[in-house]
Structure 1
Amino acid sequence: MNSIGVFGLGVMGANLAMNMANKGEKVAVYNYTSDLTEKFKSNFTSDNAEAHYDLERFVNSLEKPRKVFLMVTAGPVIDSVIDSLVPLLDKDDIMMDGGNSNFNDSNRRYHRLKEAGIHFVSVGVSGGEEGALHGPALMPSGDEKVYQEVAPILEKIAAQVDGKACCGYLGKEGSGHYVKMVHNGIEYADMQLITEAYQFLRERLGLSVEEIATTFREWNEGELESYLMEITSDILTHVDEETNKPMVDVILDKSGQKGTGKWTSQNALDVGVPLSIITESVFARFLSGLKEERVRADQMLSGPTKLDQDLDKQAWLELVRKALFMGKICAYAQGFHQYKQASEAYGWDLKLEEIALIFRGGCIIRAGILNEISDAFKADKQLPNLLLSPFFQEKMNDYQASLRKVVIKGMESGLSLPSLGASLTYYDGYRSSQSGANMIQAQRDYFGAHTYERVDKKGTFHTAW
């Protein structure tokens, strides 16, 4: 009998199945179309992997309680697969969804299957194709007792950092997919911030692609160390064989997305979190899609007429490094604030220090700084915001002047730096004990009698303006 079944043999599903088999699990695999099953069999030969072409035989090949790992397209397809599996499963069998599902769908599926006596585990999976094959970051949720039954497999196939699996029980219902969603939001912001630093170095400092690649490689040896910094320096060293130009220069500047960044921003509105950096990174992708309009606008709309003198490259390299680090930390602060708010709103009891540890390996945002982020939430369970922890407070106080200079210089130079700019605006807004919101409350009371609170009395008040 097989210990687990993988339903869906696209690249991610096939790689996860191979990962399981390579780690000693007996894996049954199945795909609705036989072509991917044949491809899997031709690419991977192992006594631990058993291919099936009949769904009922696939299910019956699994030891009880059966464990089925779904790796199919998120959305209606998953509901269709669940419909086909439920009649073949028994009470207490376990279904896991490793796709990029919306957490609301996962909540619904969790409760639907619970009524049928079947357990549902929502599993966020990050790391792309390589991570799936060699060790992804896994973010499972559902009933903790059920997680304990699948934990030996999931923790075995997950990435390992300092002897700890990048996998652990997160919370109830679909909170695993929620954690993955916000992970992707942070990923959007991180990518955009790196891109803006690249633009500044190239367009304002005049560095060559090769010089920026070297710079990023050096930065990746320090506090900016991360997977995204590593691959960006690799990208910048790649030359297009057809044109002999840097590969980055022959790629059209229109960025795509699969929706998880947008979901993160939409949910931030629901739970009341100022998610400006991540949201600006989503909007930047939308703006990049207006390529034809941007080309036209470039000919019609003016920018700065004259740039000031050449900048001191070494001095500005350090300013940009600090600005990038501060932008990243502000993005993490917003993302983890969203985790905190959602945990309270949905009753999930998310453990922020554990989430940070899961992100250290396998996933796209893996970075050295996640150890400090975990330590911050471990030291203070009630920490309202990452920026207020002693370590990051000191960094922000030291680096805020650098971020300020880079954003101002970028604006003076006509560069669009939406996420770096949003980082500074968020930082300044968060540290302001007095904001302009009193004027907004006065306006709301004037036109709609919405009332206001006073600084010198308790209660709510209205003025006959």
Structure 2
Amino acid sequence: MGGNMATRLIRAGHEIVGFDLSEENRQKAASNGAEIANTLDDLIAALPERKVVWVMVPHGKPTESTLQSLLEKLAEHDIVIDGGNSNYQDSMRRGEIFAEKGMFFLDAGTSGGIWGLEEGYCLMIGGDTDAVVHVSPIFAALAPNPKGWLHVGPVGSGHFVKMVHNGIEYGMMQAYAEGLELMRAKEEFGLNLANITELWRHGSVVRSWLLDLTAEYLKNDPELKDLSDYVSDSGEGRWTVIDSIQEGVPAPVITLSVQMRLRSQQDQSYAGKVLSAMRNAFGGHAVKKVSDE
């Protein structure tokens, strides 16, 4: 379990046993009041009956191998919660495998990031209703308020809703970024973007937590001089676009925002070079060579 989430549960009065492959992370959790297990077997042995295990590791192989180990070690009626950013189709498959052994698998789409300890987490839960009710005190402790978590549907639905959530986030971030760049380009107005983003936080229809964070960043570094324009992606934006195509639901804003992130990850665009070559070939237009930079 992530250190911030464990800390929040401990503050809410829950007894937590934690395990992580990293000794540093285990000690950090211990310093916040968690009982520490040095192996996964020790973790399971330390839990009371009807064991509840929250898994929060990177999606893909780390999650798959951890869940497979738990599947072999836990007993009937035990509950496993995957709070990472897994693909919802993997969660549906895993839910069926756990159900075959009489266990319960819940997928918890988790939004809150590094601010979760202070602000709480928005939790989107998929899985069996009785299992959700059984572990609901955990969700209540992590959420910022009683409306901060929701049982959204069957296994897989929690991660599906979180996937769409992240796709929307991509689009919102892209719109803010484009608008700010446009205002910065209007040099004759001398616009103060830090002041404008702070203004928009109060009463504007575009106010949001993303805007709050942007305003704070611009206040401290208005030219963003210490940043490159490389923007990584976790994969959930891509999954959202793929699913929109499979469902026949147009999602042009989210799709383009994902494409812009992919473009930012290229040092140079080969497609851009091809465009430059074609324009030069048919019209003799000037080109800019790498040696000119």
Given that residues 253 and 291 in structure 1 are in contact (C-alpha distance below 8 angstroms), is that contact kept between their aligned partners in structure 2? no
Determine which of 60, 63, 78 is the counterpart of 2:63. Answer: 78
1:199 corresponds, among 178, 181, 194, to 181
How far, CA to CA, are the matches of 2:188 and 2:229 in structure 1? Answer: 19
Q: Distance in 1 between matches of 2:257 and 2:73?
A: 44
- Deviation at residue 34 of structure 1 after TM alignment: 3.0
Q: Is the 8 A contact 2:197 2:214 kept in 1?
A: yes
Q: How many residues align?
A: 273
Q: Does structure 2 conserve the Cα–Cα contact (< 8 Å) formed by 1:30 and 1:51?
A: yes
Contact 2:51 2:79 in 1 (8 A): yes
2:149 and 2:100 map into 1 onto residues whose CA distance is 27
Within a 5 Å distance, the mapping from 1:42-81 to structure 2 comes to 44-46=31-33, 49-81=34-66
Deviation at 1:284, TM superposition (A): 1.1
1:77-226 counterparts in 2 under 5 A? 77-132=62-117, 134-160=119-145, 164-204=146-186, 206-208=188-190, 211-222=192-203, 223-226=205-208
Question: Is contact 1:31-1:37 (8 Å) kept?
Answer: yes
**Structure 2 spans left out of the alignment, 5+ residues:** 278-293
Structure 2 CA distance for partners of 1:35 and 1:251, relative to 1, 3 Å? closer
Identity %: 32
Residues 441-452 of structure 1 mapped to structure 2, 5 A cutoff: none
Larger radius of gyration: 1
8 Å CA contact retained: 2:88, 2:159: yes
Distance 1:187 1:158 in 2: 19
Cα distance in 1, alignment partners of residues 113 and 163 from structure 2: 14
Match of 1:24 among 13, 25, 28: 13
TM-score, structure 2 normalization: 0.87
* Corresponding residue for residue 237 of structure 1: 219
Alpha-carbon distance in structure 1 between the residues aligned to 2:99 and 2:188: 59
Runs of at least 5 residues in structure 1 that lack an aligned partner in the other structure: 1-5, 7-12, 240-245, 302-465
2:284 counterpart residue number: none
- The verdict on how the C-alpha distance between 1:225 and 1:114 changes in structure 2, with shifts beyond 3 A counting, is same
Paired with 2:77 and 2:69, the residues of 1 have a C-alpha distance of 17
Distance of 2:93 and 2:229 partners within structure 1: 38
Q: Distance in 2 between matches of 1:189 and 1:270?
A: 20
The separation in 1 between residues aligned to 2:118 and 2:59, in whole angstroms, is: 20
Give distance in 2, aligned partners of 1:73 and 1:172.
22
Indicate conservation of the 8 Å contact 2:55/2:80, yes or no. yes
Superposed CA offset, 1:65-95 (max 9, x none): 1110001111121121122222321100000
Q: Which has the higher contact order (CA 8 A, sep 6+)?
A: 1
| Aligned partner letter, 2:59 | A
Could you tell me how far 1:157 is from its partner in structure 2?
A: 1.5
Is 1:267 the counterpart of 2:256 in the alignment? Answer: no
DSSP-derived class of the 1:169 partner: strand
1:283: which partner in 2?
Answer: 259
The verdict on how the C-alpha distance between 1:251 and 1:35 changes in structure 2, with shifts beyond 3 A counting, is: closer
Shift, 1:101, TM fit: 0.3
Offset of 1:165 from its aligned partner? 3.0
For 1:206 and 1:60, locate their aligned partners in 2 and report how far apart those are by CA, in whole Å: 68
* Two-structure CA RMSD over aligned residues (Å): 2.0
Q: TM-score, normalised by structure 1?
A: 0.56
CA distance in 2, matches of 1:289, 1:86: 38
Distance 1:82 1:133 in 2: 29
